[in-house]
Amino acid sequence: MTRTGKTYLPAHYPDDVGEATTLITLTGSDRPGITAALFTLLAEDADVRVLDIEQVVIRGQLTLGTLISNPSNQVNLRKSLSDLATQKDVQITVSEGENDNVSTTEANHLFVTVLSAELKPAALARIAGHLAATGANIERIVRIAAYPITAIEFEITGAPIDLLQRTLSEEPRIQGVDIAVQRGGLSRRGKKLVVMDVDSTLIQNEVIELLAQEAGVFEQVRDITEQAMHGDLDFAESLTRRVALLKDLPVSSIGNVQKQIRLTPGARTLIRTLKRLDHQIGLVSGGFHEVIDPLAAELGIEFVAANRLEIVDGRLTGQLILPIIDRPGKARALEAFAEAAGVRLSQTVAIGDGANDLDMLAVAGLGVAFNAKQIVKDAADTSVSAPFLDGVLYLLGITREEVENADREGDRSVTV
């Protein structure tokens, strides 16, 4: 079935509020040459200036909008656009534009990123409704990832960031999605320091439990961990008691533990992509340097803060070398990393899953709760609930397509 090209023209143009403008919207099946043909046509009028333009293709369907200053001859414009619509088998709508007096720089825009393993229309309806209620105008909506999770990005203007954050704060819990509200501009694209927790974040394991299995004290260590999780022990005391149970474990067991470590899905993609973009990466852990340092070296991670096991004559003494990296210690480490990296705290990203990460998440410019309990999600700026660590990339405005294109190009300078 062949469609008939059509043009729809306004009855009049405004001449009483600044410069009169014309908005041309072209829709139809995408194919090479359509955009070039439209602007070749517009170029025939030397007085026409292009004031704004946007194009999107969804499943082969093109929508191209351009705002121009009014042409010198409206009749010629109508005739030329009608001929082009017929020739290219597209639809072209012409309407009155608005005076182009609003700044369109990204610095004045906010970005609302929505992540979900199963994105439902109801979630988007509520989010769009909340945006409207705050007076926000949606300038653009794009999908930045289709798998392993869906990521949608709204670019908006007209509402303050704190109001949007408050208004959308309950939607993740209600709709089962993750939402981040961030400013645009250079700060979003600038150099960042990304700092991650290790156990159950970068890796799927809990290192203290792997060591406990080697020492034959897994149940005792698990009991102490449960007490800490219920608030009966603070982290430092629980760690000290668990490490004491590892007394006399041979150093060779650490090598056995390292062989059992499994990275979280998406961890290598996250690190590889961040390094390609010249971001710096740090690890902050309540675990142990003896296990983490070789992993950090393999992945090319610049900064590491963790606890140290005391070792004498090739065996663990059951003691730690102070200071202990606890909840406040993780935040201090992030601050030290940022200073060493020459990165402002506002340009840091912290990723963690537990209560021990809360101070670090609060200090960072963007705190991300990864596969975390609700109390951590509530305290963080945003969350990634799907078990794929590279979902953090979408919060930074990096698309899945960009990641895959970079992988296909094969950056040989990155070995992770």
* DSSP letter, residue 4: P
Q: pLDDT (tens digit, 9 = 90+) per residue, 60-100?
A: 999 999 999 888 888 888 899 999 999 999 999 998 776 55
The pLDDT value recorded for residue 181 is 96
Percent pLDDT > 90 in the chain is 76
Q: What is the rounded CA–CA span in Å between residue 96 and residue 223?
A: 71
The residues with which 67 forms a beta bridge, in sequence order, are 23, 52
Q: What is the mean pLDDT of residues 304-330?
A: 97
What strand order describes the sheet that includes 50-58? 6-8, 91-96, 21-29, 61-69, 50-58
Q: What ranges in 342-399 are assigned the alpha helix state H?
A: 358-363, 374-379, 392-395
Q: What is the dihedral of CA 412, 414, 415, 416, to 10 degrees?
A: -150
Distance CA(242)–CA(230), nearest Å, equals 16
Residue 17 phi, psi (nearest 5): -135, 80
Check if 106-189 and 194-409 are the same fold.
no
Decide which of 59 and 371 is more confident.
371
Give the model's pLDDT for residue 19.
66
CA distance linking residue 325 with residue 316, whole number of Å: 19
The candidate with the shortest Cα–Cα distance to 367, out of 377, 375, 4, is 377
pLDDT of residue 399: 94
Cβ neighbours of residue 297 under 8 Å, at least 6 residues apart? none
Instruction: Tell me the C-alpha distance between 108 and 110, whole Å.
Output: 7
Give the bridge partners for 7, in sequence order: 92
Residues 371, 385: contact at Cβ < 8 Å?
yes
Structural domain boundaries in the chain: 6-96, 106-189, 194-409
pLDDT at residue 149 is higher than 70: yes
Q: Which of 30, 178, 199, 353 is catalytic?
A: 199
Q: How far apart are the first and last CA of the chain?
A: 51
Query: According to the model, what pLDDT value does residue 268 have?
Result: 97
Whole-number pLDDT of residue 411: 52
Residue bearing the bigger pLDDT, 58 or 182:
182
* pLDDT at 99 (0 to 100): 52
pLDDT (0 to 100) of residue 2: 34
b/e for 105-126, b at 16 or more Cβ within 10 A?
A: ebeebbbbbbbbbebeeebbeb
Beta-carbon-side half-sphere exposure of residue 22 (alpha carbons within 13 Å): 24
- What is 96-137 written as a DSSP string? E-----S---GGG-EEEEEEESS--HHHHHHHHHHHHHTT-E
Annotated catalytic residue 199? yes
Bridge partner list, 321: 308
The highest-confidence range among 44-53, 168-177, 182-191, by mean pLDDT, is: 168-177
Is the predicted pLDDT of residue 104 greater than 70, yes or no? no
Choose, from 178, 197, 326, 357, the residue flagged as catalytic: 197
Per-residue pLDDT, averaged over 40-63, amounts to: 89
Q: What is the mean pLDDT of residues 352-379?
A: 95
Q: Looking at the predicted structure, is the pLDDT value of residue 101 above 90?
A: no
For residue 111, list its beta bridge partners: 155, 182
Task: State the chain's mean pLDDT as an integer.
Answer: 89
SS3 325: coil
Which of 84-98, 296-310, 386-400 bottoms out in mean pLDDT, i.e. has the lowest?
84-98
257 pLDDT more than 60: yes
* Percent helix / strand / coil, the chain, rounded to 5: 40, 25, 30
Residue 282: per-residue pLDDT: 98
CATH architecture of the domain formed by 194-409: 3-Layer(aba) Sandwich (3.40)
What is the model's pLDDT at position 47? 85
Residue 387 has pLDDT above 90, yes or no: yes
Query: What is the pLDDT at residue 18?
Result: 55
Six-digit token pair at 397? 């405005």
Whether 145 and 400 have beta carbons less than 8 Å apart is answered as yes
The pLDDT value given to residue 394 = 96
Residue of 276, 244, 227, 225 whose CA lies nearest to 414: 276
Work out the angle at residue 84's Cα, subtended by the Cα atoms of residues 81 and 90, and round it to the nearest 5 degrees. 100
Phi, psi of 341, rounded to the nearest 5 degrees = -85, -10
Confidence category of residue 415, pLDDT binned at 50, 70, 90: very low
Confidence band, pLDDT 50/70/90 cuts, at residue 112: very high
pTM: 0.82
Neighbours of 200 (CB within 10 A): 16
197 is catalytic: yes
Q: Answer with the residue of higher pLDDT: 189 or 227.
A: 227
DSSP 358: H
Query: Is 3.30.70.260 the CATH classification of the domain at 6-96?
Result: yes
Q: Is the pLDDT of residue 129 over 80?
A: yes
CATH code for the structural domain at 106-189: 3.30.70.260
- Rounded to an integer, the average pLDDT of 334-359 is 96
